[in-house]
Amino acid sequence: MTDITKPLPGQERYVAPLDETPLRAVDNVDETAPATSMWADAWRTLRKNPLFIISGILILFIVFVALFPGVFTKNDPNYCNLDNYLDGSRPGHPFGFDAQGCDIYSRVVYGTRTSLSVGILTTVIVVAVGTLIGAIAGFFGGWVDAVLSRIVDIFMAIPMLLGAIVVLQMFRTVTSLWKVVLVLALFGWVSTARIARGAVLSSKNLEFNTASTALGSTPMRNLFRHILPNSLAPIIVIATTSLGSYIVSEATLSFLGIGLPSTTVSWGGDISNAQSILRTNPMVLFYPSVALAITVLAFIMMGDAVKDALDPKSRTA
């Protein structure tokens, strides 16, 4: 019996020398580490992402082109002379001329503005409307949520392009760029609304809202000060990714001839005009297509990078 109290070999009493593991204060704050908010953290992740750097440079360039097309070309995109019918490139006109005798290079440069404004305006409207409706549905719940969610479901059931074609058919005479923007927004807001509703629902149940209520905060204050800011990340992600797809949709509609009027310089319209002579002069179609592809790619890449940085799963908070 006595030897039972004796520890087994290798299990004798052991105390580590103190200098090896010096005792630290209980739960001390690391004052040396830099302070980081969620956005600062996201920015740090983004900065290191090559996808973000490439797409960022591209987007900055595209925006610059859209804002100051005059820097890149002195030619008027709407000055067309049939004398130049399908002429090749020559000094001052690097991409040559199309079937109407217009300068392709200047049309590509000026088309940037159209595509970009449609994309950005649509995204702004979609985010504003979608977030508002989604947040209302998620925050109030009950019958408000039921009604709004059904409306969202109905819009979800309509394919965006098909819906846009039908609506645009009815307004053929309107020439404004806003026509396309509004129609795209009309069918685009639903996905944002869904995501906003989900995000609001999940952050509504977080404990800091209860804490805030107990501190005396009103529900509305909670919504705008706590819930919405905490729901922004997924909304930003979907906004950046879908910006590219709105640009594509605009091009598609213009290609079909029911988007922007032919008087507006746009890549979609130019691609449409070039398709009839595709076999003989493929380069006429090539330039606006490449411009469109690069622009869309840049925005989709950007959306991907933003998603990586804001992905809630990678964050512990």
Partner 1 sequence: MTDNTETIEDKLDQLQRSQGPLLEVKDLQVDFVTDEGKHVHAVRDSSFSVYPGQWVAIVGESGSGKSTSAMACLGLLPGTGQVVGGSIKLDGTEISHYTQKEFTAVRGSKMGLVPQDPMSNLNPVWRIGTQVKEALTANNMDVSHEKRSSLAKALADADIEIKSEGDETFLGSKELPALMEAAEQALVKAGVKGDRFEKSMERFRQEWVAGSETRWRVADDLIKAGVKDDDAWYIAKKYVLGSTVEDRIAGLLDEAGLPDAATRARQFPHEFSGGMRQRALIAIGLACRPELLIADEPTSALDVTVQKRILDHLQDLTDSLGTAVLFITHDLGLAAERAQHIVVMYKGQVVESGPSLEVLQQPQHPYTKRLVAAAPSLASQRIVSVEERGEDASAIMEHKVNEDSLEHADTVIEVDHLTREFKLPRTRDMFKAVDDVSFKVKRGTTLAIVGESGSGKSTVANMVLRLLKPTSGKVTYNGEDISQFKGKGLLDFRRHVQPVFQNPYGSLDPMYSIFRSIEEPLRIHKIGDAKSRRARVKELLDMVELPESVMQRYPNELSGGQRQRIAIARAMALNPDVIVCDEAVSALDVLVQDQVLHLLNDLQAKNGLSYLFITHDLAVVRQIADDVVVMQHGKLVEHGTTDEVFLHPKQQYTRDLLDAIPGGKLELGLNLD
The burial class, CB within 10 Å (0-12 / 13-18 / 19+), for 257 is middle
Of 3, 143, 169, 280, which lies in the binding site for partner 1, with binding defined by CB under 8 A?
3
Token output for 180: 């396309």
Site for partner 1, residues 158 to 197, rule: CB under 8 A: none
Q: Give the residue among 186, 179, 57 at the shortest CA–CA distance from 118.
A: 179
Of 11, 169, 263, 280, which lies in the binding site for partner 1, with binding defined by CB under 8 A?
11
Whole-angstrom distance, CA of residue 163 vs CA of residue 157:
10
Packing angle, helices 38-47 and 282-310, rounded to 10: 140
Q: Which is nearer to partner 1, 10 or 91 (CB)?
A: 10
Stretch that binds partner 1, among 101-109, 201-209, 242-250, 255-263 (CB under 8 A): 201-209
To the nearest whole angstrom, how small is the minimum distance from the Cβ of residue 132 to partner 1?
19
By CB under 8 A, tell whether 220 contacts partner 1.
no
Site for partner 1, residues 141 to 160, rule: CB under 8 A: none
Question: What are phi and psi for residue 79, nearest 5 degrees?
Answer: -90, 110
Of 83, 216, 263, 313, which lies in the binding site for partner 1, with binding defined by CB under 8 A?
216
Of 53, 71, 211, 293, which lies in the binding site for partner 1, with binding defined by CB under 8 A?
211
Burial 273-289 (b: 16+ CB within 10 A, else e): bbeeeeeebeebbebbb
By CB under 8 A, tell whether 18 contacts partner 1.
yes
Whole-angstrom distance, CA of residue 248 vs CA of residue 37:
35
Q: How many residues bind partner 1 (CB under 8 A)?
A: 46
Whole-angstrom distance, CA of residue 254 vs CA of residue 12:
83
Question: What are phi and psi for residue 18, nearest 5 degrees?
Answer: -65, -35
To the nearest whole angstrom, how small is the minimum distance from the Cβ of residue 91 to partner 1?
51
Whole-angstrom distance, CA of residue 144 vs CA of residue 147:
5
Of 214, 220, 279, 313, which lies in the binding site for partner 1, with binding defined by CB under 8 A?
214
Site for partner 1, residues 26 to 85, rule: CB under 8 A: 26-27, 29, 31, 33, 35-38
Write down how long the chain is. 317
Token output for 118: 């449609």
Q: Which is nearer to partner 1, 27 or 83 (CB)?
A: 27
Give the three-class secondary structure for 289. Answer: helix
Of 43, 64, 68, 208, which lies in the binding site for partner 1, with binding defined by CB under 8 A?
208
Tell me which residues touch partner 1 (CB under 8 A): 1, 3-5, 7-16, 18, 20-21, 23-24, 26-27, 29, 31, 33, 35-38, 206-208, 210-217, 221, 226, 229-230, 315-317
